A and B are shown apart, each in its own frame.
Chain A
Amino acid sequence: MTAGAGQVVGQADGEWRAWRQRLVAGVRLLRLELRRSAMVWMLPVTGALFWYNAFRESMAEPAMWNLRAMTMQHGVLLDFAPPVVGAAAWMGSRDGRRQLTDLIGTVPRPRWTAQLATWAAVTCWALVAYCCCVGVLYGLTARQASWGGPLWWPAVVGAAGIPALAAVGFAAGAWFPSRFTVPIVTVGAFFALGFSSQPRAPQWRVSPTVSGAPSIGPDAGIGTFYHYLPDLSIAQVICVVGVAVAALGALGLLDRASGSWLRPIASSMTAVGLAAVVLAAGLAGTARLDPHGMLVIPALHDAANDRPIGYTPICAHAVIPICLNPAYAAYLPECKRALAPVLAEVAGLPGLPVRMSQGAPVYFGPLNSGFAPSGAGVVIADGSSDGSRQTTLVLPDQLPGEPSGADITVNQFIGQIRLPVAADLIKIMVGVAPGAVRVGAVPGAGRISAASGGGSPAQRAVAAALAIDAGATGAPRANTAVGLAADRFAALPAAVRHAWLATHLTALRAGRITLAQLP
Chain B
Amino acid sequence: MTARTIITVPADARPDAGSALRLVRLHLESRRVTAALVTVVACALTLRIALRWSWDTYGALQLPLILESGCAAAIGITTGSPFGEPERATGKWLPLLRLGSAITMTATAVIAFAVATLGADLAGGIADVVRNVVGLVGIALLCAALLGGGLAWTGPVVYMIVGAYGLYTDWHPPAITSPWIWPARPPLDLGAALCAATVFAAGIAAVTWRGARESA
Give the interface of A toward B (CB within 8 A): 45, 49, 52-53, 57, 60, 78-79, 82-83, 86, 97, 178-180, 182-184, 186-188, 190-191, 194-195, 198-199, 403-405, 407
Contact = CB atoms under 8 A, between A and B. Distances in A.
B39 A179 contact: no
B165 A187 contact: no
A405 B171 contact: yes
A198 B56 contact: yes
Contacts of A195: 50, 59
Given A194-B59, A407-B173, A180 B35 contact: yes
A57 B153 contact: no
B161 A183 contact: no
Q: Which 7 A-B pairs rank lowest in CB-CB distance, beginning with the nearest?
A: A183-B73, A183-B153, A187-B70, A53-B165, A82-B157, A198-B59, A179-B150
A178 B32 CA distance: 10
B172 A79 contact: no
Interface stretch (B61-69, B108-116, B196-204): B61-69
A45 B158 contact: yes
A184 B77 CA distance: 11
A403 B172 contact: yes
A57 B40 CA distance: 33
B106 to A, nearest CB: 16
B135 interface: no
Contacts of A184: 39, 70, 74
Contacts of A82: 157-158, 160-161
Contacts of A199: 54, 56
B35 A178 contact: yes
B211 interface: no
B74 A52 contact: no
Nearest to A198: B59
A198 B55 contact: yes
| Chain B CB within 10 Å, residue with most, of A49, A182, A183 | A183
Most chain A beta-carbon neighbours within 10 Å: one of B39, B53, B63, B165: B165
Contact of A191 (B39, B67, B156, B165): B67
B45 to A, nearest CB: 13
A57 B169 CA distance: 9
Interface of B: 32, 35-36, 39, 46, 50, 53-56, 59, 62-63, 66-67, 69-70, 73-74, 77, 80, 149-150, 153-154, 156-158, 160-162, 164-165, 171-174
Contact of B67 (A53, A180, A186, A187): A187
Most chain A beta-carbon neighbours within 10 Å: one of B63, B80, B153: B153
25 contacts: A52-B161, A57-B172, A60-B172, A60-B174, A78-B161, A86-B154, A86-B157, A97-B150, A179-B77, A180-B32, A182-B153, A183-B77, A184-B74, A187-B69, A187-B73, A188-B70, A191-B63, A194-B62, A194-B63, A198-B54, A198-B55, A198-B56, A199-B56, A403-B173, A407-B173
A180 B74 contact: yes
Given A45-B158, A52-B161, A198-B56, A183 B70 contact: yes
A188 B54 CA distance: 19
A186 B72 CA distance: 13
A317 B165 CA distance: 44
Nearest to B162: A52
B74 A183 contact: yes
Contact of B161 (A53, A188, A191, A403): A53
A186 B157 contact: yes
A190 B163 CA distance: 13
B66 A187 contact: yes
A497 B172 CA distance: 47
Contact of B165 (A52, A183, A188, A405): A52
B156 A183 contact: yes
Nearest to A85: B157
Contacts of A179: 32, 77, 80, 149-150
B181 to A, nearest CB: 10
Contacts of B156: 183
Contacts of B80: 179
A186 B153 contact: yes
Nearest to A191: B66
Contacts of B174: 60, 403
Contacts of B171: 405
B173 A190 contact: no
Contacts of A183: 39, 70, 73-74, 77, 153, 156-157
A404 B59 CA distance: 17
A180 B74 CA distance: 6
A194 B150 contact: no
Contacts of A86: 153-154, 157
Given A49-B158, A190-B160, A403-B174, 9 more contacts: A49-B162, A86-B153, A183-B70, A183-B74, A183-B153, A190-B157, A191-B66, A194-B62, A198-B53
Nearest to A188: B70
B36 A180 contact: yes
A60 B172 CA distance: 10
A49 B56 contact: no
Nearest to B69: A187
A60 B171 CA distance: 14
A83 B161 CA distance: 11
Contacts of B73: 183, 186-187
Contacts of B164: 78, 194
Nearest to B70: A187
A79 B161 CA distance: 7
A57 B67 CA distance: 24
A183 B70 CA distance: 6
